[in-house]
A and B are shown apart, each in its own frame.
Chain A
Amino acid sequence: MDTSTYISLSGMAARDQEMAVLANNIANMSSPGFKAERMMFAEYLANAVGGSQISYVTQAGNNHDMSQGPLNHTGNPLDVALNGDGWMAITTPAGTSYTRSGHFQLDPQGEIVTSNGYQLQGDGGAPIVVPAGAGDVTISPDGTVSTRQGTIGHIPVVTFANPQAMTAEANNLYNTGEAPQPTTTTPIMQGTVEDSNLQPVLAITRLMNAAREMTAEKNFGDAENNRLKTAIERLGKTV
């Protein structure tokens, strides 16, 4: 069997993959702290009969677009956004994860938690507890958490040498095997959440591209099929 049909098939399978990534980006348009992803493809070389090489397309990885998302003012005292590079550490049942989604709540013990009830880590990994009846919480740009009665904790901001190595873990959380580096240059903005950094124009153009590329690959496959058909018909004709 001729390999060219398989080449167009590998192209169509790649477009299918890419569509899933694009759809996930668009579905998460309203998820705070969501980082859009881009699929990268690579050439996969295979040796064909006759010594020439043919190239299939294969998935190489997906890049997180780690750029800052737009900051959306909510006025909620427990909404915080990071203005610049950095992550906040969250204690989950499976260990420490990192997030830029700064929408927090209080649990019955007064600890600052995410919507899933996972604790926001203060200095040393301990949760930050707002004492009962303390009134409104103030979070200053350097991460100090205080009430009218005084300071109750500090939110450390950490960065990573290679944020691309982070893996998305659902619930707006990310994991990494790298060691966190504390930073003091990223201010924390109270009353603000970071929206998804998906750029709608790029998302829709990529979407249209993927559909057109799929059509092109299908047409190539069809043409190839016709060529084979004609060749077989001609060669098979008895003179």
Chain B
Amino acid sequence: MRSLSIAATGMLAQQLNVEVISNNIANLNTTAFKAQRAEFQDLLYQNERNVGANSSDTGTLVPVGVQIGTGVKAAAVYRITGQGNLVNTNNALDLAISGRGFFQVEMPDGTTTYTRAGSFQLSATGEIVTADGFVIQPGITLPQNTTNITVNANGQVLAQVAGQLNPQTVGQLQLVNFPNEAGLSQQGSNLLAETPASGAPVTGNPGSTAFGTIQQGFLETSNVNVVSEITNLITAQRAYEMNSKVIQTSDQMMSTLNQIQ
């Protein structure tokens, strides 16, 4: 019975669906987390009677064929790239991107990763780093005795040093964009990496064309919509049950066959 294995692909698909949903809900409070969705596609079809084949010698055609599908597969788990809400934290080094763009993070192995989670800290040497201590590119070091940090909408970083009248410019934050943001691969710890599918990064200053602006003292929340996650969860659970019902029924039919005298 093909129906058993077909229903099994359906159950596997719904299981993946629930896994993706549970990861979204688990990351409800993760800064700048982007919700994910699983997308499903049908598998190959077996043509048992071809549509358009001759059904007689006089040239009449078969109007509809017999095609038996073989189930479902997960085609993609894609990120929904919509903006999360901005929440005020009053922390000078919490930077949210309002609009498109990613901060560049230099990893300990020298590679560059990308993030929208702007909850930054200072290192022992005064450099702006992520919560894991990785340096933000281009590197910005604050002078000693800095009393106040200002980051304006265009990414300029100004430091007020004790004893000086005017704040001094200490650096310029830069953002990158990708032709296909959804093609970035997730690295965990709110970091994303470039892939052949994402295209090459395009660097620009915040506020320039196609780049978002920086909001100091704000963080971007996750863009997970709890209501839609819960409704998706219910749908997935019911779909899982229906597939298991198919397995039960197939089993029942096979048992009927086994009882033929």
Residues in chain A within 8 A of chain B (CB atoms): 12, 15-17, 19-32, 34, 37, 39-40, 59-63, 74-76, 101, 103, 105-110, 115-116, 130, 132-135, 162, 164-165, 167-172, 177, 200, 203-204, 207-208, 210-211, 214-215, 218, 221-222, 225-226
Query: Which residues of the other chain, B, contact A208 by a CB distance below 8 angstroms?
Result: 249
- Given A105-B182, A165-B64, also A170-B257 (CB < 8 A): no
Determine, out of B120-128, B159-167, B237-245, the stretch whose residues face the partner at the interface: B237-245
Asked if B116 lies at the interface with its beta carbon under 8 angstroms from chain A, I say: no
- Given A12-B257, A214-B256, A215-B256, also A61-B76 (CB < 8 A): no
From the candidates B42, B100, B249, B260, name the one contacting A34 in the complex (CB within 8 A): B42
Asked if B44 lies at the interface with its beta carbon under 8 angstroms from chain A, I say: yes
From the candidates B38, B179, B246, name the one contacting A108 in the complex (CB within 8 A): B179
Interface size, B (range): 35 or more
Asked if B183 lies at the interface with its beta carbon under 8 angstroms from chain A, I say: yes
Bound-state Cα–Cα, A168 to B198, Å: 30
Please count the residue pairs between chain A and chain B whose beta carbons lie under 8 angstroms apart in the complex: 221
From the candidates B3, B180, B210, name the one contacting A22 in the complex (CB within 8 A): B3
Looking at B37, B64, B67, B202, which has the most chain A CB atoms within 10 Å of its CB?
A: B64
Bound-state Cα–Cα, A204 to B4, Å: 15
Q: Is the CB of B82 within 8 A of A75?
A: yes
Q: Is the CB of B9 within 8 A of A171?
A: no
From the candidates A12, A20, A62, name the one contacting B6 in the complex (CB within 8 A): A20
Determine, out of B46-54, B134-142, B143-151, the stretch whose residues face the partner at the interface: B46-54
Per-residue contact bits, chain B 26-50, to A (CB 8 Å; 1 contact, 0 not): 0000000000011111111101110
Q: Is the CB of B3 within 8 A of A20?
A: yes
Bound-state Cα–Cα, A162 to B172, Å: 61
Q: Is the CB of A214 within 8 A of B253?
A: yes
Measured CB to CB, the nearest residue on chain A to B204 is A133
Q: List 16 A-B contacts (CB under 8 A).
A: A16-B253, A17-B66, A19-B250, A20-B69, A27-B71, A28-B72, A30-B38, A74-B37, A105-B78, A106-B180, A107-B183, A132-B179, A170-B42, A172-B75, A207-B245, A210-B249
Asked if B56 lies at the interface with its beta carbon under 8 angstroms from chain A, I say: no
Bound-state Cα–Cα, A26 to B245, Å: 10
Bound-state Cα–Cα, A151 to B12, Å: 42
Q: Is the CB of B210 within 8 A of A108?
A: no
Residues in chain B within 8 A of chain A (CB atoms): 1-4, 6-7, 9-10, 13-14, 17, 37-45, 47-49, 51-52, 62-72, 75-76, 78, 80, 82, 100, 177, 179-180, 182-183, 196-200, 202, 204, 209-210, 235-236, 238-239, 242-243, 245-246, 249-250, 252-253, 256-257, 259-261
Q: Is the CB of B246 within 8 A of A22?
A: yes
- Given A211-B249, A218-B259, also A115-B196 (CB < 8 A): no
Q: Is the CB of B51 within 8 A of A61?
A: yes
**Shortest CB distance A177–B (Å):** 6
- Given A62-B64, A214-B253, also A116-B180 (CB < 8 A): no
From the candidates B63, B68, B179, B242, name the one contacting A26 in the complex (CB within 8 A): B242
Query: Which residues of the other chain, B, contact A22 by a CB distance below 8 angstroms?
Result: 3, 246
Q: Is the CB of A61 within 8 A of B65?
A: yes
Bound-state Cα–Cα, A109 to B183, Å: 12
Q: Is the CB of A31 within 8 A of B249?
A: no
- Given A61-B51, A74-B80, A172-B41, also A207-B246 (CB < 8 A): yes
